[in-house]
Amino acid sequence: MTLFDTKPKSDPRFLYGREKELDGLVESLKKKNWVIILGPRRVGKTSLAECAIKRMGRKIFLLDARENNNFIESLNKLLATPESSLKVKAEIRVPYTPINIGAEYNKTLSKKNLDSLLKKVGHIYIIIDEAQWLVNPRKVVMLLAHLYDYYYDSVTFIITGSMIGVLKSIVEPGPSSPLYGRAITEMEIKRWQSSISLSFLKTGTAELGLRLNEKMAIEVEENLDGLPGWLTLFGYNYAQVKNPNIALTKTIKEAKKIVSQELKSIAELGIGTPKLIEVLRVLAKEPVRFVDIAKATNFNNTSLSKYLSTLNRLEYIEKDSKSRYFISDPMLLKFIEEKARD
């Protein structure tokens, strides 16, 4: 693994500039606290979760909701893996497809079966990654509340994602939420300040025996902002093509493609993506206040607040000190600008 490896980092040695966050997370996990990691896309939430478990010398279990959006099914699969493999201290990713499924695995496993499986486990840390893609959020939250009450000593969950859907009910557990009253630690991961982005680029390129002059590093940082994901992608491309200008162009092109794929997946969730894009188009021109977005789009106030709150939960937009909304990911901004020109 190198600093510019594009997979989420699972080894703390390659997790750059997150010492405080890592210490904080390990501290919480040692106490078996459940933790929710929130933050913009590509800021390093999954990496942080994996590195913390690794730091504790424990096995990483990761349920990726993008690969299997049925939480109960994927949890059952995980727990049905042979007991011995649940206890081995090795780094593995949980099979999303049924490899290693024990005889007890059965698609219709009930809560009762789940209980009996959990009793055998001892204690495990499970990352629920990208929780916003899980189907049937209400059921998921109910199951989590059950696990919290009866299996706190057996399972510790680290939940990552943006605040849509299931996460909203966990993050803001109002009295009507099944998780109401359970203590869950919330951590927010911020993008890097420019000095950290620059030293990340410098350290990562030096590690590969490449050089990146200060001017170019600043140009990369200005284009990609302090998002570790885009900076890592640049580093990866630079190592391939060896020319920083070509690498930057390639990175921007790929990043726009990734963003566009994401918007497509959101469209599949049926949450009014064309309307969201209309709002994004207005924001792409300049930061704007609520009333001005309403004027530009002709959306009524209720609909517009709904769209803005969805965009906010997807971590696509933020609000500045003058109450103006703006697009927070520079690659999403570029993508929307181009789409507007089509």
Residues in contact with ligand ATP by CB under 6 A are: 3, 5-9, 14-18, 39, 41-47, 130, 160, 228-229, 232
Nearest residue (CB) to ligand ATP, 148 versus 236: 236
Beta strand 124-129 with 61-64 is: parallel
Nearest residue (CB) to Mg ion, 66 versus 253: 66
* 169 touches Mg ion by CB under 5 A: no
- The three-state secondary structure class of 247 is helix
Are 233 and 223 a contacting pair, CB within 8 Å?
Answer: no
Distance CA 316, CA 318 (A): 7
Nearest approach, Cβ of residue 64 and Mg ion (Å): 8
Shortest CA distance to 282 belongs to which of 302, 260, 298, 301? 298
Nearest approach, Cβ of residue 229 and Mg ion (Å): 9
Are 307 and 299 a contacting pair, CB within 8 Å?
Answer: yes
Nearest residue (CB) to Mg ion, 45 versus 334: 45
User: What track of x and - describes contact with Mg ion for positions 7 through 46 (by CB under 5 A)?
Assistant: --------------------------------------xx
Nearest approach, Cβ of residue 32 and Mg ion (Å): 22
Nearest residue (CB) to ligand ATP, 261 versus 305: 261
Q: Which partner, Mg ion, ligand ATP, none, binds residue 43 by CB below 5 to 8 Å per kind?
A: ligand ATP
Shortest CA distance to 48 belongs to which of 29, 69, 66, 25? 25
Distance of CA 161 to the CA centre of its chain: 4
Residue 181, classified by CB atoms within 10 Å of its CB into exposed (0-12), middle (13-18) or buried (19+), is exposed
Closest CB to ligand ATP belongs to which residue?
Answer: 44
Q: Which residues bind Mg ion (CB under 5 A)?
A: 45-46
